[in-house]
Structure 1
Amino acid sequence: MRPTRGVLDRAAGGLNAVTAPFDPEGYLRRRRARGGDPVIVRVPGAAGRMVVSGDPEAARELFGGPVELFDVPRPNPVEPLLGTGSLIMLSGERHRRERRVLTPPFGGQRMRAYGTIIQEAVLDQVRSWRPGQRLDAQRFGQAVTLSVIVRAVFGVDGGSLGEHFATTTAQLLQGYKPMLSVPALRRTVGRLGPEARLRRRLAAFDSLLAAEIENRRGTGVADREDILSLLLSVRYDDGSELSTSDLLDELRTMVVAGHETTATTLGWALYHLYREPALVRRLIEELAPLGNPPPPAELAELPFLRAVCHEALRLHPVVPMVARRLLAPWRFRGVDLAPGDTAAVATSLLHHNPDVWDEPLTFRPDRFLDREPRGFAFAPFGGGHRRCLGAAFGDYELRIALGTVVCMATLSMPERERGRRIPPAVPRNITFGPRRPLMLTFEGPTGTA
């Protein structure tokens, strides 16, 4: 007896659900192809439904929706790592209050003061390479962003203390399992299991940063420009300062938001550039008039460099979902949601929407030179009242790092790597990254690195 269409559909749906945690982008794409947009799913550990869309109109609805109806989705995969006082985990009046005091350190002029730090982090890596050396582009990005965090965020510059900060920060993220947000999936017996390991790493990180915070409070921060010192200087409307506990939560947030996110996008940008040598040549021609090394402020203004960075952010969004949990009834994309349900925009679907983007799965930076994306079609940093606070910093860091390495190092992609299919993005710690290493070869320095 042949199976009916209904049986086959249920079997396919069951298989899709099983594969969802390992390939959520593919899962949503298949669900949308079968049933249209939006897609309604159930999330393990969550009480209500999640309605997911990849339409720009959905982004407009969500980012412009009634703030008072929105809360942070739970279970949240980053809460065990960030802490309950992180800006990402706050909502309502406290979220607005914290955002007001945390915004100034990321202002435009202040951000540009970190250009030299970003460039020096890249040059340190280039100086350590040897001709013929094979490189993983994403690991290079991680080394650069970790150095930037230690120097620009924590204000620790070199020496054994800098190495201690770098090691402790890297260990905080190493092997983090987002499923720790679901209590039923935790496996801890005494000092064993992922949750116990996370607690130890959090304790080490918090102890190191708490000691530095107290040291800065004792010595003063008047002549310092790192983000930690700036946060120690900010005051609420009543004159009070950020508590040590809140500072630690926010510093963890900056580490998480500023490390793997920018590192992964930098890796993807390098991969696509050297996969298509004509793109590299165009960028080198644009960089040539700036000298070696190029001034960071001038790098940030280059149109083709900007377009390459934005195309990497579009094609490979490292945070593929922007979600809001409902506190009251609301209608989203024609679906009536109840309190406890979640409305979400999948940036992976949004950025690959064929109704908006020509050849959406092709890396084509010129699309950002021809015209700006219309409406809400491009949202790599989220949007609305919860748009990533460090978006400008991350975008600036990406441009400086990419422009500097292309200018100062001659790189190539092995023929075998160029002939392989582009790797899919899979969950990696708290973001999405390539399934396999993105390998390049260092031919030699091109400037005075």
Structure 2
Amino acid sequence: MSGQIPKSLTDITTLQVLFANNPLLCGPGTTKPCPGDPPFSPPPPYNPPTPPTQSAGASSTGAIAGGVAAGAALVFAVPAIAFAMWRRRKPEEHFFDVPAEEDPEVHLGQLKKFSLRELQVASDNFNNKNILGRGGFGKVYKGRLADGTLVAVKRLKEERTPGGELQFQTEVEMISMAVHRNLLRLRGFCMTPTERLLVYPYMANGSVASRLRERQPSEPPLDWDTRRRIALGSARGLSYLHDHCDPKIIHRDVKAANILLDEDFEAVVGDFGLAKLMDYKDTHVTTAVRGTIGHIAPEYLSTGKSSEKTDVFGYGITLLELITGQRAFDLARLANDDDVMLLDWVKGLLKEKKVEMLVDPDLQSNYEETEVESLIQVALLCTQGSPVERPKMSEVVRMLEGDGLAERWEEWQKVEVVRQEAELAPLRNDWIVDSTYNLRAVELSGPR
């Protein structure tokens, strides 16, 4: 092959080797120009590409595989890490796993959970000058919330037990459901690993006990009409606890000190929130005896079994407190050779037909004698030795309203006459009246 190479063929790579090694060719792609063409520099010799070695291919393949594996690991690792972080943070969303001081404001219905700091500020760090009272469950402090509302803060002194937080919360929620005009409404609570506190509305007129025995000289005594309203209102409150709460609530410490007075001197039963809850299927609760000497029913003291009828007994003693103005248990009565137990003292005076000596001197004869007799009759029916023979609180309410007291009292007197004759026949000369025996039929007129 010889002659001038056409320009169109010089761009074909596969022909460039043939053109470069043929001395008979001229023109572009060769080592010499054709006749008449200007001289030109020859093109660089053609070097065909070296085929890739086996080791280089393997390295490239490994790099690709490594990248794919790393990407897959990242795809699975990101969700796993996110899930682990979510699980770790989840317990912080549970309300009771957070320390009380850091809790946000939480309401359970109308029940508020206060922070400990909030109640410390309200009570001036539980200053002794703000103490309203002391009891077996703890101290009660007067407090003022940030909005100016006055409250009573009960600081419980219970022993802490594992799992007690859940039980406390459950009881608090159950107690908050007991809403009645004659029951002290629970406003809120506070719970920390070391503190249990209950928050109630502040009662400016204090308790029945304080008004009967600890009033200031400038404060007038409770008049008879107010005492009758207190008797009926507290009976209605206890009846609600027994018959309208599910599960029913047994108070176990009914006394004048636990009946508070609102601004209108209406009775408000307090401290029922500290009673044990009783399931509606049960007839009693066996537990440590709680109560106040003079108010504790004999069967509760001897067996530790409380029931609605133990509350009825305590209520009967409270009626005697309202009538007499005296304490249920008072060693000072020994100075006059009287019984230290109010119930025994009352029975002794009734036996001697000295009814007028039972009435609180602060009343100064400003009372209806027949109404006093009726209240005494209800009190004696409530404090019978046998719990079975005591009326229910709902029956007490009806009797105080004038329904059925005369019939119940007459029936009780007939039974007592027969019973006392049978019991006292061999011991007629040694008969002693005390709270462990039923009183002989008392000669009181029925309601008029």
TM over 0.5: no
Select the structure with the greater relative contact order (CA < 8 A; seq sep ≥ 6). 1
**Which has the larger helix fraction?**
1
Larger Rg: 2
TM-score normalised by L of structure 1: 0.22
What's the TM-score once normalised by structure 2's chain length? 0.22
